Amino acid sequence: MSGEKHVMLSYQWDSQKLVTDVYKHLSEHKIPLWMDTQGGMKGHLSTSMAEGVENAVVLCCFLTPQYQDSVACKDELTYAKERRVPIIPIRLIKDWKPSGWLGFSVTGLKYIKFTDYSTNSDLRINELVAEIQMVAGKQFSSIQPLNWNEEEEKHHEETNDNVANNDEIESTKIRLDENSYYRLTTQWQGDNKSLDILNDGKNNNKVQLAQTGNYSGQHWKMKLIQDDYYRLTTQWQGDEKSLSIVNNEIILDKTSNDNAQYWKITLLKNNYYRFTCKQQGYEKSLDIINDGQNNNKVTLAKSGCYSGQYWNITQI
């Protein structure tokens, strides 16, 4: 109905089957939606598309090479940008990145990767719902809350249970070589950005996400120190400085027995890892702030289905 606020699904027709499935799942979360094949087209094509954009609280664009080549998709996204409609770009094709007008339109925005949607649809839908909730704020009071926390907490407890001969526990047990260094990257930013220490010539203790390179500040050692908790240090600063929380900031601080330096590493069902701190508990996770600019500031944020909280650990 004209005038009703909604989330608009913008896509090229080759992706219609997938987007229709996304529409179905988002509807189950009570999210008001606009999709051309689901009642969005009423009357003239251009008028319907314009109303879809004008009444959108969020526009989700499903990016493919075909989307980039589509004049209609370009018109939708360009009009949404002009109307200052928040945009959530969703990548459907692995090893492909938008360029030209499309690359310019979505630069600096947080991507959601649906490249594995066929095998991880539930996880990707939860991630998208969480992003819509964050972007839309309280404009959609009808959105059904996610139950991720209960499920993930249950999985977290299972992975740390000591029940013998449990295949799931064995397959999710964290094994790290204490004498090796590792690179930490996020699902959101990919392998091109790594957890790093800023060399500012002063304190040299600020933690950030930086361009991946052969830098000792990006080489992390993780040593088991108590039960399931690890200490994180860098090759650059050595064992004298540990990843810590000081005044609600993530920094490299003088190594101590403070529980703000005790990190739990939990393997998730999507094969990424969640980092939580003993001081704050499982409710807060190591995350990257989406500020729409550099998107590189590291923080501790409320745990959720966010790609900035999904960490990859790669041995160097």
pLDDT of residue 43: 53
Give the pLDDT of residue 184.
94
CB 205 within 8 A of CB 251: yes
Q: Using N-to-C axis directions, what is the helix angle for 45-54 and 71-82, rounded to 10°?
A: 40
Q: In this structure, which amino acid lies at residue 6?
A: H
Please calculate the CA angle 66-69-70 and round it to the nearest 5 degrees: 85
Q: Which fold has domain 6-146?
A: Rossmann fold (3.40.50)
- Mean pLDDT over all residues of the chain? 82
pLDDT top residue among 68 and 172: 68
Which amino acid would we find at residue 200? Answer: D
Determine the straight-line distance between the first and last CA of the chain, rounded to whole angstroms: 55
Instruction: Give the model's pLDDT for residue 141.
Output: 57
The mean pLDDT of 144-163, rounded to a whole number, is: 40
> Can you give the pLDDT at residue 140?
64
| pLDDT value at 3 more than 60 | yes
Q: Provide the pLDDT confidence category of residue 170 given band limits of 50, 70 and 90.
A: very low
Q: Spelled out in words, what is the top-level CATH class assigned to the domain 176-315?
A: mainly beta
Residue with the larger pLDDT of the pair 110 and 270: 110
Residue 190: phi, psi to the nearest 5? Answer: 80, -170
- CA dist 11 and 105 (Å) reads 15
Q: What percent of the chain has pLDDT over 70?
A: 83
**Location of structure tokens 């959601």:** 112
More confident site: 1 or 35? 35
Structure tokens of 217? 């500040």
Q: What is the pLDDT of residue 37?
A: 82
For the chain, the residue count is 316
Domain extent listing, the chain: 6-146, 176-315
Confidence of residue 220 (pLDDT cuts 50, 70, 90): very high
Average pLDDT over residues 232-246: 94
Helix-strand-coil split of the chain, %, nearest 5: 30, 30, 40
Task: Give dist(CA 270, CA 81) in Å, integer.
Answer: 33
Give residue for tokens 């839309």: 136
Query: If you average pLDDT over residues 206-235, what whole number do you get?
Result: 92
- Mean pLDDT to the nearest integer, 2-15: 87
pTM as predicted: 0.50
